[in-house]
Amino acid sequence: MYSCEEHIEEALDDWVYGVETVPEFTLVDKSKNLWITCGYCGNRAIYMVGNECSDTKYRK
């Protein structure tokens, strides 16, 4: 799950309610991933919310 600064709280809430675990927050590398967008508004994502077991993993 990717999120901008404005929607990080919603991403945290959705993750906790959906997966029932505390997620890891990873900063998106701006220089390598210019086209990753927030799942809530479509702006450029700053954070990746997930964990090692999730389908969403940061790919370099």
Domain ranges for the chain, please list them: 2-49
- Residue 59: band (very low, low, confident or very high) from pLDDT cuts 50, 70, 90: very low
CA dihedral for 53, 39, 25, 20, sign (positive or negative): negative
Q: Residue 60: what pLDDT?
A: 41
Locus of tokens 């799942």: 39
Q: Residue 20: what pLDDT?
A: 81
Q: Residue 40: what pLDDT?
A: 95
Structure confidence by residue, pLDDT tens digits, 2-58: 999 999 999 999 988 888 888 888 888 877 657 889 999 999 999 998 875 555 544
In angstroms, the CA 11 to CA 50 distance is 10
Q: Residue 32: what pLDDT?
A: 66
In angstroms, the CA 40 to CA 59 distance is 20
